[in-house]
Structure 1
Amino acid sequence: MKEEMLVQISDFKLYAKLIGEKNGKCTVVMDAGYGDFSKAWDSVIGEISMLSQVMIYDRAGLGNSEKSSNPRTSREMVKELKKLLIDAKIQPPYILVGHSFGGVNMRMFATEYQNEVCGLVLIDSTPEDYKERFLPTMSKEFQVAYNKQFVYEGNYDEFMESLKQLKETKLLLNVPLIVLTAGKKAHYSKESQQLWNEMQRDMLEISTAGELVIAEKSAHYIQNDEPELIVSAIKKLIDNI
């Protein structure tokens, strides 16, 4: 089954696609990284849709979605996603999957609507203390390039506001969590890679049932470098329901 839709959210429409058959257990909801949209999941969507129904979507202003007049912060994006799920009649429970900045959104969604979530997969997700703890360890060139990338959706300040919002959210309780972290980032020194892995491991503390998987052969886009790790993480959560 494949169904595409444009759903009205206040003054704009969000594009979403439903793929696969509902197995009665859950719907997998996937959120891409900063500036990315639903095509970011092309490498894994076929296999995941064999396991369960999957919803991928484009955040406002990206892909096939219209621009939103709301602030481009995680809090607003979570509200927009919630309305999309309600209006598209996609019932909980959900397994949430977030890559990079999408992981920030999915963590916030999971804490906001914990009783609707039966699993969370964070794929090289941005840690809430990225600015304070990680950025200062990188070269000036890296920091300049990092700051300049915020032109696709939301600016640098809105992105940092999202990380601040994440710090203010309450901890997860009983939602099973799998953290997948990229173990082979070309522009990271050995020390930076160790720090990154450590910060990813720290994310396990938001759940009573967390597991860390280091994707040794992957750069930031684990879904492209080692797609089987993402499929197996989602399968594990589905099997545990």
Structure 2
Amino acid sequence: MSNQYLDFWAKRPLPDYPQIPDIPVTVIASIKKYEKPPLLFFTDEARRMWGQLHFNWVNSFPQGKAVLTEKSYHYPQNDEPEMVVLEIIDLLERVKR
């Protein structure tokens, strides 16, 4: 795993990126379960842990919001476009406050 990936999840500053300021942040993450998981990552327990990881990370920001979906896989914008649009509208409203 690259150091940049690990740095991102640890919220440490990346070499070429500034700290994330106190702004509204929304993360949409899939926790959809697989009927026959092809890998350990896709087991029910792993999906639960994946959602918890996203939830904890984004909620470490003062204005963070986690949206965990069980209806989409890797591309919620394709599987649930209406939900993604509503979350973008909500994010824009939070920016206005």
TM-score over 0.5 for the pair: yes
The structure, 1 or 2, with the larger RCO (C-alpha pairs under 8 Å, 6+ apart) is 2
Measure the CA separation in 2 of the matches of 1:209 and 1:232. Answer: 17
Which of these residues, 74, 93, 96, is aligned with residue 220 of structure 1? 74
Give SS of 1:236's match: helix
User: So what's the TM-score if we normalise by structure 2?
Assistant: 0.70
Query: 1:189/1:211 Cα in 2 relative to 1: closer, same or farther (>3 Å)?
Result: same
Q: Which structure shows the bigger proportion of residues in strand conformation? A: 1
| 1:196 to 2:50 alignment | yes
Cα deviation, 1:183-240, whole Å, max 9, x if unaligned, reads: 2142311111111011111222442011111112111111111111211111112223
Measure the CA separation in 1 of the matches of 2:33 and 2:74. Answer: 7
| 1:162 to 2:31 alignment | no
Give every structure 1 segment of 4 or more consecutive aligned residues whose post-TM-superposition deviation is greater than 2 Å. Answer: 164-168, 170-173
The answer on whether the counterparts of 1:215 and 1:226 sit within 8 Å (CA) in structure 2 is: no
Can you give the 5+ residue segments of structure 2 that lack an aligned partner in the other structure?
none
Give SS of 2:67's match: strand
Give SS of 1:214's match: strand
Q: Percent identity among equivalent residues?
A: 27
Worse-matched range after superposition: 184-193 or 162-171: 162-171
Cα deviation, 1:25-75, whole Å, max 9, x if unaligned, reads: xxxxxxxxxxxxxxxxxxxxxxxxxxxxxxxxxxxxxxxxxxxxxxxxxxx
Aligned residue in 1 for 2:23? 175
Query: 1:174/1:183 Cα in 2 relative to 1: closer, same or farther (>3 Å)?
Result: same
Measure the CA separation in 2 of the matches of 1:210 and 1:196. Answer: 17
Query: Pairwise CA RMSD of aligned residues?
Result: 2.1
**Which entry has the higher C-alpha Rg, 1 or 2?**
1
Measure the CA separation in 1 of the matches of 2:7 and 2:27. Answer: 20
Aligned residue in 2 for 1:207? 61
Aligned residue in 2 for 1:33? none
